[in-house]
């Protein structure tokens, strides 16, 4: 599997779920005339809670459109001008109280910011029109320490994952699609000590190639040599 922004993917699913709820539970809509050319439509659930607010100019979408869930939280925000979508935002609330806003651009790219219920940043990054992460992406633990960081460049990404204490677990390079290891990978224990170095082919992702080294307390205790994913030799220093 290749790495998509998990929150972005779930955001789309939650958006469609929220939209269907609006249609299912919406009971009444009222249109108010603001000026000769401008009107505003307010729709409510059967419990009286507002489900959506829409704005029009001469019958065309114009201004801010807001959609709410049954708890009064914004699940979608769209900005229109003369029937043209300028910007669209999705706000998603999960069962573990994570809040996300996804900003769409006209080119199809999107920028996502997710936060825990305490306001701490959970995830931040860009995705292309396919939902695949582009540029620099970061995720955080609830305690504020980095959980994951990777930066995409020319179809490849520099990948780094962390323990909850802030120490690096692993780092290396991956293909954009699918998620496959290439080149050199390093692994560390919770004390920050190097435990293993792996090497993969750059031409055949996930294919073991070259010297693999195993460490304990800073010293090599085993070396394995691979060629085209096949183990050729093992040297044990114990």
Is residue 146 predicted with pLDDT exceeding 80?
yes
Contact predicate 174/182, CB 8 Å:
yes
Query: How far is the C-alpha of 29 from the C-alpha of 104, rounded, in Å?
Result: 28
Choice between 122 and 102, residue whose per-residue pLDDT is larger? 122
Question: pLDDT tens digit string along 39-73?
Answer: 999 999 988 899 999 999 998 999 999 998 888 88
Would you kindly state where each structural domain of the chain is located, as residue ranges?
A: 1-140, 158-238
What backbone phi and psi angles, to 5 degrees, belong to 25? Answer: -105, -10
Is residue 208 predicted with pLDDT exceeding 60?
yes
Query: How far is the C-alpha of 172 from the C-alpha of 62, rounded, in Å?
Result: 47
Question: pLDDT tens digit string along 194-203?
Answer: 999 999 998 8
Q: Confidence class of residue 153 from pLDDT cuts 50, 70 and 90?
A: confident
Contact predicate 22/28, CB 8 Å:
no
pTM above 0.85, yes or no: no
Question: pLDDT tens digit string along 76-112?
Answer: 888 888 888 777 766 665 556 677 777 766 556 777 8
Indicate the DSSP class of residue 4.
B
- What average pLDDT does the structure give for the chain? 82
Choice between 150 and 215, residue whose per-residue pLDDT is larger? 215
Q: Confidence class of residue 154 from pLDDT cuts 50, 70 and 90?
A: confident
Query: How far is the C-alpha of 65 from the C-alpha of 53, rounded, in Å?
Result: 6
Contact predicate 132/177, CB 8 Å:
yes
Angle at 47 between CA 60 and CA 89, to 5 degrees: 40
The third-level CATH classification (topology) of the domain covering 1-140 is Outer Surface Protein A; domain 3 (3.90.930)
Q: Which of 40, 41, 42, 37 is nearest to 57 (CA)?
A: 37
Q: How many CA atoms lie within 13 A of 145 on its CB side?
A: 11
Indicate the DSSP class of residue 218.
T
Q: Confidence class of residue 212 from pLDDT cuts 50, 70 and 90?
A: very high
The CATH architecture one would assign to domain 158-238 is Alpha-Beta Complex (3.90)
* Same-fold call for 1-140 versus 158-238: yes
Query: How far is the C-alpha of 59 from the C-alpha of 80, rounded, in Å?
Result: 12
Q: How many CA atoms lie within 13 A of 92 on its CB side?
A: 23
């Amino acid at each position: 599997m290749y790495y998509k922004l998990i929150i972005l993917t779930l955001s789309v699913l939650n958006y469609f779920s929220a939209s269907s709820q609006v249609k299912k539970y919406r009971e009444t809509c009222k249109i108010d005339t603001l000026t000769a050319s401008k009107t505003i439509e307010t729709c409510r659930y059967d419990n009286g809670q507002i489900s959506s607010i829409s704005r029009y100019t001469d019958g065309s979408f114009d201004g801010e459109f807001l959609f709410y869930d049954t708890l009064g939280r914004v699940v979608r925000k769209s900005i229109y001008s003369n029937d043209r979508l300028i910007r669209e935002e999705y706000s998603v609330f999960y069962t573990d109280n994570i809040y996300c806003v996804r900003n769409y651009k006209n080119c199809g790219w999107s920028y996502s910011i997710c936060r825990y219920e305490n306001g701490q940043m959970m995830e931040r990054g860009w995705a292309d029109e396919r939902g695949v992460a582009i540029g620099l992406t970061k995720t955080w633990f609830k305690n504020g320490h980095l959980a994951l960081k990777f930066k995409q460049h020319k179809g490849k990404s520099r990948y780094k994952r962390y323990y909850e204490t802030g120490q690096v677990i692993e780092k290396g390079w991956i293909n954009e699609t699918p998620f496959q290891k290439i080149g050199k990978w390093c692994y560390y224990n919770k004390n920050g000590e190097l435990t293993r170095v792996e090497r993969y082919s750059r031409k055949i992702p996930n294919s073991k190639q070259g010297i693999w080294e195993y460490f304990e307390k800073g010293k090599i205790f085993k070396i394995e040599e691979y060629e085209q994913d096949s183990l050729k030799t093992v040297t044990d220093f114990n």
